[in-house]
Amino acid sequence: MTHPVCASLDHPLFAFGGKRVEEVKGKAPLCEAERGGKRSEAGVSKLVSPVSGFIFAFLNIKAFSIQSLSLPAMSKTITPYHDEQATKKEQVADMFNNISKTYDFLNHFMSLGIDIIWRKKAINELKNDKPKLILDVATGTGDFAFEALSILKPEKIIGVDISRGMLDIAEQKIAKRGLGDKFGVKLGDSEKLPFEGAEFDAVTVAYGVRNFENLEKGLADINRVLKPGGKVVVLEFSKPKAFPIKQLYNFYFSYITPGIGKLFSKDARAYSYLPESVAAFPDGQTFVALMDKVGFKNTKCRPLTFGICSIYTGIK
């Protein structure tokens, strides 16, 4: 049986005149699993890391028309399991419950740690504002909030998330670090935040808005709980436009990411949902316009790393 990651390398994109890449170059099969080698985590990491995937695609860029490679067009509502009997909220909650134990590891592994740099840049958007009380929407396992505590030194951060499994991990981290007086979490719906109006100095959302069932409603509720003059900071994946970054990004999201998810997560579908949800997300100026629509002022979009990720800010 072909190794799951090797299967992605067998894709027609890697074919030259009907032959596989290794056949053209006169080399042995690319995957250790196909040669009967050990499937060590280190070996798999070398094969499926973002750098190896990007370099492989780039070196062979002249051998096939990578310009035609793009993420598929998606409908407006993308759900993790395509279950018509369950709402997007229910499916997103189930998905994150399923992957909560491997979520942090895969986040850092798949991005080679660059997600940590993106988080710091987003948090620094609030440095001059010096917020005392911060709401972290879609807080997950709490990584963004912990970083915000370290950089901004607020009096308190409250994290809210729809997944009980993710919050369980966050609570374990809070207890281990002795930060119960500084960081608390609550189960809640991002579109019906369980807080009074004008309660927070700042609201942050890292990699969460594309999972909202109703994006406009979610942004409007964030605006509701902000104090007048309060600031929202949203960190989210976006779609790069320039060649060859666009093609390499789409290749990685379409083939490498699902392969890694299958290897390390019990819910492989979660890592197919990722590129689908990014493809459907109204990024860039479209998202800025939606922020304007719900009442935010001085809205801005700041692309990071060739547009792979973006920081959005607005003032109530």
CATH of domain 113-238+281-315: 3.40.50.150
Between CA 37 and CA 258 the distance in angstroms is 22
Between CA 315 and CA 230 the distance in angstroms is 6
Q: How many residues does the chain have?
A: 316
State the CB neighbour count (10 A cutoff) for residue 225.
21
**Crossing angle of helices 257-264/270-280, nearest 10°?**
150
Query: Hunting for tokens 């990651």 — which residue is that?
Result: 5
Express each pLDDT in 70-91 by its tens digit: 444 434 578 877 877 788 888 8
For residue 247, the model assigns a pLDDT of 93
The pair of structure tokens assigned to 226 is: 């902000």
Query: Hunting for tokens 């608390």 — which residue is that?
Result: 184
Residue 311 bridge partners (DSSP): 235, 302
Between CA 223 and CA 315 the distance in angstroms is 9
Residue 16 bridge partners (DSSP): 19
Express each pLDDT in 20-73 by its tens digit: 333 333 444 444 333 344 433 344 333 334 444 443 333 333 333 333 344 444
Containing 217, the helix (H) or strand (E) segment is helix 215-225
Express each pLDDT in 199-238 by its tens digit: 999 999 999 999 999 999 999 999 999 999 999 999 999 9
State the CB neighbour count (10 A cutoff) for residue 175.
10
DSSP 72: P
The pair of structure tokens assigned to 84 is: 């018509």
Contact present, 297 and 212 (Cβ < 8 Å): no
Between CA 238 and CA 284 the distance in angstroms is 7
Average pLDDT in the chain: 79
Q: What is the three-class DSSP state of 55?
A: helix
- In the chain, list all ranges with CATH 3.40.50.150: 113-238+281-315
Q: Is residue 109 very low, low, confident or very high in pLDDT (cuts 50, 70, 90)?
A: confident
Decide if pLDDT at 241 tops 70: yes
Q: Which residues have a Cβ under 8 Å from the Cβ of 268 and sit 6 or more positions away?
A: 258, 261, 262
